[in-house]
Amino acid sequence: MYLVVKHSGIYSTMLPSIVISIVLASFVSAESSITEAPTTTAEDNPYTIYPSVAKTASINGFADRIYDQLPECAKPCMF
């Protein structure tokens, strides 16, 4: 099976595998023009430093009362 391809006003026949290779090569060359993201530091972004937060619970901050109501035999399973 051959494909008829028009390139620069000229028709030619090509194998599908050659057409796929040409398309993939064009994608690879397009990737080289992609701009990379700039590198940032902590001084550039004030949101990279988090304020210290006091720990309020031993499990997750909300389950202390539930944990206290568990039977003693079930408490080791929570960790």
Q: What tokens were used for 59?
A: 């499990």
Give the per-residue pLDDT at 63.
Answer: 65
State the DSSP H helix or E strand holding residue 5, giving kind and residue range, or none if neither: strand 3-7
Q: What tokens were used for 44?
A: 């550039």
Integer CA distances (angstroms), 78 to 56, 61, 62, in order? 17, 14, 14
Range among 7-16, 37-46, 58-67 rated most confident: 37-46
Q: pLDDT band for position 37 (50/70/90)?
A: confident
Q: What is the DSSP string of 7-26?
A: ETTEEEEE-HHHHHHHHHHH
Q: Is the pLDDT reported for residue 74 higher than 70? A: yes
Give the per-residue pLDDT at 5.
Answer: 57
DSSP state of 34: P
